[in-house]
């Protein structure tokens, strides 16, 4: 009973959990190639109608452009901020370090809808709302902690003598940063760029509130969904999934392969 039988039951259960988690992703993909307007089983004919529709929609192209701008800029900003903070945490000890770290790590614990309202009110007050920049600023706050965590993890694996060795060989602090710390952290930096881009690419609550008329891809989805059932969403969704999944997989492969390498 405790051996094989239990293992089979547990295996089936785990498979069910994974089915639940991946069913929406799977069906979104399937329905994006399905001709029915109200998709169900049995499936309709194979069709690329919805893809043709979104590809010919200039609004969607504009949203894609916006999303690419927002997520790449966010990724660069958040990774820079995360790197600075991770390095500070690695290298220095100072009096208010606890609050300092809390300042960067806190935002993800606050529900997005609250951040969205707060950002909207504040950015309007500063006259900064309703632009792509508004989304970028908000997203960088939300994603910097991820960047910080990934890069901090990498620095944790570094021999602490490495930086001092660079000074010892005649490098200034800046040279040591450029020739030792940054190269060592490079896999984490690339992972962080991918992951923060993925998060920013998918985020809709804050973006929707502060973006004004500048729509990103998730905002377009939100608006289509609000109207009625439209399988265009599945086509866009498939494209969105592919983008984020490739970013996440790239991030993990780069980071994990480096970790394995540095341990061998």
Q: Which of residues 187-216 bind another protein (CB under 8 A)?
A: 195, 198-199, 202, 204-205, 209
Count of residues of this chain found to bind another protein when the rule CB under 8 A is applied: 102
45 sits near another protein (criterion: CB under 8 A):
no
Tokens 């690329």 — which residue?
A: 48
Query: Can you list the alpha helix ranges (DSSP code H) found in the chain?
Result: 4-32, 49-55, 58-91, 97-105, 112-126, 132-156, 161-168, 173-176, 182-202, 205-210, 217-227, 232-263
| CB neighbours of residue 224 within 10 Å | 17
For residue 236, count CB atoms less than 10 angstroms from its CB and return exposed for 0-12, middle for 13-18, buried for 19 or more: buried
Shortest Å, Cβ 98 to another protein: 14
Residues 94-133, one symbol each (x = binds another protein by CB under 8 A, - = not), give ------x--xx-xx-xxxxxxx-xxxxxxx-x--------
164 sits near another protein (criterion: CB under 8 A):
yes
39 sits near another protein (criterion: CB under 8 A):
yes
Of 206, 211, 196, the residue nearest 72 (C-alpha):
196
165 sits near another protein (criterion: CB under 8 A):
yes
Among 68, 76, 153, 222, binds another protein (CB under 8 A): 222
Of the candidate spans 38-46, 55-63, 65-73, the one that interacts with another protein by CB under 8 A turns out to be 38-46
Decide: helix, strand or coil at residue 180. helix
179 sits near another protein (criterion: CB under 8 A):
yes
Q: What is the distance between the terminal CA atoms of the chain, rounded to a whole angstrom? A: 40
54 sits near another protein (criterion: CB under 8 A):
no
Of the candidate spans 44-52, 53-61, 65-73, 169-177, the one that interacts with another protein by CB under 8 A turns out to be 169-177
């Amino acid at each position: 009973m405790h051996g094989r039988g239990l293992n089979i039951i547990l295996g089936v259960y785990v498979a069910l959990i994974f089915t639940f988690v991946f069913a929406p992703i799977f069906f979104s993909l399937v329905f994006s190639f399905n001709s029915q307007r109200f998709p169900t089983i049995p499936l309709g004919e194979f069709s690329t109608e919805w893809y043709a529709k979104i590809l010919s929609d200039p609004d969607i192209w504009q949203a894609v452009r916006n999303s690419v701008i927002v997520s790449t800029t966010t990724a660069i900003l958040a990774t820079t901020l995360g790197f600075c903070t991770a390095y500070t945490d690695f290298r220095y000890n100072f009096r208010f370090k606890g609050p300092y770290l809390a300042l960067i790590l806190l935002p993800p614990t606050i529900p997005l809808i609250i951040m969205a309202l707060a950002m909207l009110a504040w950015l309007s007050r500063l006259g900064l709302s309703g632009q792509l920049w508004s989304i970028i600023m908000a997203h960088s706050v939300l994603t910097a902690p991820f960047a910080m965590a990934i890069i901090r993890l990498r620095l944790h694996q570094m021999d602490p003598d490495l930086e001092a060795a660079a000074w010892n060989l005649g490098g200034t602090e800046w040279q040591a940063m450029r020739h030792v710390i940054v190269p060592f952290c490079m896999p984490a930096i690339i992972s962080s760029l991918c992951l923060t881009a993925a998060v920013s690419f998918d985020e809709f609550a804050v973006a929707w509130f502060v973006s004004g008329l500048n729509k990103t891809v998730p905002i377009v989805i939100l608006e289509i969904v609000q109207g009625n059932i439209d399988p265009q969403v599945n086509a866009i969704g498939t494209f969105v999934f592919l983008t984020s999944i490739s970013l996440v997989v790239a991030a993990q492969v780069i980071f994990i392969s480096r970790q394995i390498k540095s341990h061998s």
